[in-house]
């Protein structure tokens, strides 16, 4: 499925959060959505998921608006992992992951064999099987995040929208979840993942979309999107860059100096 957001405007009260954002994602694409705190990444993801209506603009799913597809069909095709899924419910891990199959189930019907297989695959991929019987509210933050990821994977949709899925994870699980998302894209899903880690964004995402000031400041391969000028404008920092085995790593280094006219400029390396 192709998801195509056109000229999206979102305003909350006086704050214009998105102003004319366009983003189209096709099957097999792994897109990293990046930008500073408050740049509008979660808002855009919610718009793509169909849970936040834009003030202006439209989101098309294979050329059709969500109302032409229907809520249930959309929920089967577009999986959404929200940022602050607190999930302190008194439910077992397996029951939470099974919620990902709700769009497939008939009212009051249990899990079908296909549902159980999808739940098993998702729990295996997100490595939550060891605590499948635990109550989800008793898990650590990172464990819980992997359970919510498993719930989104269990949907086995055409599109996976994941809002900061690695923010609470230890280094090994960060790498594993990024690899898992990339594998999901390689199997044909369109994946959009919100990230703050620019190294992992650059390494794992074939395409980055950088939001700043409510607009798309840059959209393309990591080398181009993470050019010094874009990073300075979007984040107000310089990056230190290094290379390992042909891949670049990037560290936030220092705030950009602000010139006398209020223009940010990057301090020369000494
Ligand atoms: N329901 C709302 N009501 C009012 N303001 C909102 C609402 N939702 C978001 N905002 C504001 O819109 C802006 C964008 O929020 P959003 O969550 O999309 O940012 P983000 O890029 O995901 O940020 P972060 O990196 O901090 O998660 C923020 O300034 C936020 O305070």
Given the CA of residue 44, which atom of ligand 1 is nearest to it? 18
Which of 38, 26, 51, 70 lies closest to 192, judged by CA? 26
Cβ(202)–Cβ(190) under 8 Å?
no
To 5 degrees, how large is the angle CA 18–CA 34–CA 245? 160
Is the CB of 47 within 6 Å of ligand 1?
A: no
CB-ligand 1 contact for 212 (6 Å cutoff): no
How far apart are the CA of 166 and the centre of ligand 1, in A?
A: 19
Residue 128 makes CB contacts below 8 A (sequence gap 6+) with 93, 97, 143, 146, 147, 150
Q: Chain centroid to CA 14: how far?
A: 26
Residues in CB range of 168: below 8 A, 6 or more apart = 141, 142, 144, 145
d(CA 166, CA 83): 10
> Atom 2 of ligand 1 has which residue's CA nearest to it?
12
In whole angstroms, give the CA distance from residue 94 to residue 83. 20
The pLDDT tens digits along the chain (270 residues) read: 999 999 999 999 999 999 999 999 999 999 999 999 999 999 999 999 999 999 999 999 999 999 999 988 999 999 999 986 666 678 999 999 999 998 888 777 788 999 999 999 999 999 999 999 999 989 988 898 899 999 999 999 999 999 999 998 999 999 999 999 999 999 999 999 999 999 999 999 999 999 999 999 999 999 999 999 999 999 999 999 999 999 999 999 999 976 544 455 555 444
ipTM of the complex, rounded to two decimals:
0.97
């Amino acid at each position: 499925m192709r998801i195509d957001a056109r000229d999206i405007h979102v305003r909350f009260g006086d704050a214009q959060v998105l102003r004319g954002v366009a983003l189209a994602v096709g099957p097999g694409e792994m897109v990293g959505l990046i930008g500073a705190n408050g740049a509008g990444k979660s808002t855009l993801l919610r718009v793509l998921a169909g849970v936040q209506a834009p003030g202006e603009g439209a989101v098309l799913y294979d050329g059709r608006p969500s109302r032409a597809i229907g809520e249930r069909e959309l929920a089967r095709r577009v999986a959404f992992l929200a940022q602050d899924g607190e999930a302190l419910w008194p439910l077992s891990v397996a029951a939470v992951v099974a919620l990902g199959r709700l769009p497939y189930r008939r009212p009051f019907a249990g899990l079908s064999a296909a549902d159980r297989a999808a739940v098993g695959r998702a729990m295996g991929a997100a490595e939550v099987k060891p605590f499948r019987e635990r109550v989800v509210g008793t898990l650590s933050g990172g464990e819980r995040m992997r359970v919510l990821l498993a719930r989104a994977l269990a949907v086995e949709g055409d599109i996976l929208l994941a809002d900061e899925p690695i923010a609470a994870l230890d280094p090994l699980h960060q790498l594993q979840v990024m690899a898992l998302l990339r594998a999901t894209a390689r199997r044909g899903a369109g994946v959009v993942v919100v990230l703050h880690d620019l190294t992992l964004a650059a390494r794992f995402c074939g395409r980055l979309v950088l939001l700043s000031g409510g607009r798309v400041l840059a959209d393309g391969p990591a080398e181009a999107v993470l050019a010094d000028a874009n990073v300075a404008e979007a984040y107000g920092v310089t990056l230190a860059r290094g290379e390992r085995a042909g891949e670049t790593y990037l560290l936030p280094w220092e705030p950009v100096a602000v010139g006398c006219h209020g223009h940010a400029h990057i301090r020369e390396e000494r």
